[in-house]
Amino acid sequence: MVLYLDAIWLLNLLIDACLLQLTAVLLKRQIHPCRLWCGAFTASAIVLILFTPFAILVTHPIGKVLFSMVIIFIAFGYHRLSIFLQNLAAFYFSAFAIGGGLFALHYFFQTSSVYANKGFLTTLNYGDPISWIMVVLGFPVLWLFSKKRMDQAVIRKWQSSMGASVTIQVLDLNIEARGMIDSGNKLYDPLTRAPVMFLSREACGDSLPDVLFHSEGGMEQLLAQEELSDEWKNRIVFIPYRAIDGSRRFTAAFRPDRVLIMHEGKIIECRKVCIALTENQLSPSGDFNSIIHPDMLLHGKVIESAS
């Protein structure tokens, strides 16, 4: 079998460059293009070393680890031991993720006749047209797939850090909700300067009077509803806000007895707050069903540790 060493080396150079870039993306590190390609060139040199008497240096497990450390040193440099080891671990994670994906894809498309003829041994050692096509086409797909999954993991971690459990107490009701702290929420009651949080119907179900979700007719029409008790009418306020189109509108809200927020191991009590209601789903993925005003955490009272 004829081996085109230059083609194999070029393919490895591109793959190593992509793996180093994926490592940088995973760790949110900046990597200079010159360092990236120098590291990729060093990593791809293993293809040439394998055909020399020094092959034993890069085929032994210890030699592989040392060679990987050289690659990471060239690509990312050395600042502290902990950072260097993070870079090394992320590089191995990227390589195993992509390599394992290619391995799985290759054998997923293999037929039983290949195994019967023991052709898989040839594939592993030298490569056939199918395996090379799988590498050339499958690597970019798996690279993009891995990057997308990592980005989503970062987003979900951020959302988790910005999330909190919420308990709303009003009259004789206790409403449990999943909240997200929105630093962009700057809505206040203009009269009392109480911060406004948002609560979706999904969170409260049928606990609250249905008319509270239909306030399009304004305050007078809402307060004229007979199904609203006087206790509820005394709690209702209308909060002005500016819509996306620039027009000034109003949304109905109510004043609860108190709101308890469990966040980062603390239970925070908020009494000066207004809760605006919405029919819309606040999170398409269902991660949260209420939006917490940041001032509720800033000015709320820590009453106890959640632990």
| Max intra-chain CA distance, the chain | 93
By annotation, the residues acting in catalysis are 182
Q: What does the pLDDT read at residue 107?
A: 66
Query: In the structure encoding, which two tokens stand for residue 256, read together?
Result: 């609860």
Residue 136 has pLDDT above 70, yes or no: no
Rounded Cα distance between 27 and 150, Å, is: 10
| Residue 230 CB-density burial (10 A; 0-12 exposed, 13-18 middle, 19+ buried) | exposed
Q: What does the pLDDT read at residue 169?
A: 93
Can you list the alpha helix ranges (DSSP code H) found in 109-128?
112-116, 119-125
Percent of the chain exceeding pLDDT 90 equals 12
Q: What does the pLDDT read at residue 255?
A: 92
Q: Average pLDDT for residues 122-142, to the nearest whole number? A: 56
Q: Are 27 and 66 in contact (CB under 8 A)?
A: no
Q: Are 74 and 39 in contact (CB under 8 A)?
A: yes
pTM > 0.85: no
Q: Are 139 and 18 in contact (CB under 8 A)?
A: yes
C-alpha triplet 153, 196, 205: angle, nearest 5°:
70
Q: How many other C-beta atoms are found inside a 10 Å radius of the C-beta of residue 138?
A: 20
Strand partners, 304: 267
Rounded Cα distance between 247 and 297, Å, is: 30
Q: Report which of residues 2 and 97 the model is more confident about.
A: 97
- Which residue has tokens 């306030």? 215
Give pLDDT tens digits for 225-245. 767 788 888 888 888 887 766
- Which residue has tokens 């054998």? 107
Rounded Cα distance between 70 and 44, Å, is: 12
Rounded Cα distance between 108 and 138, Å, is: 12
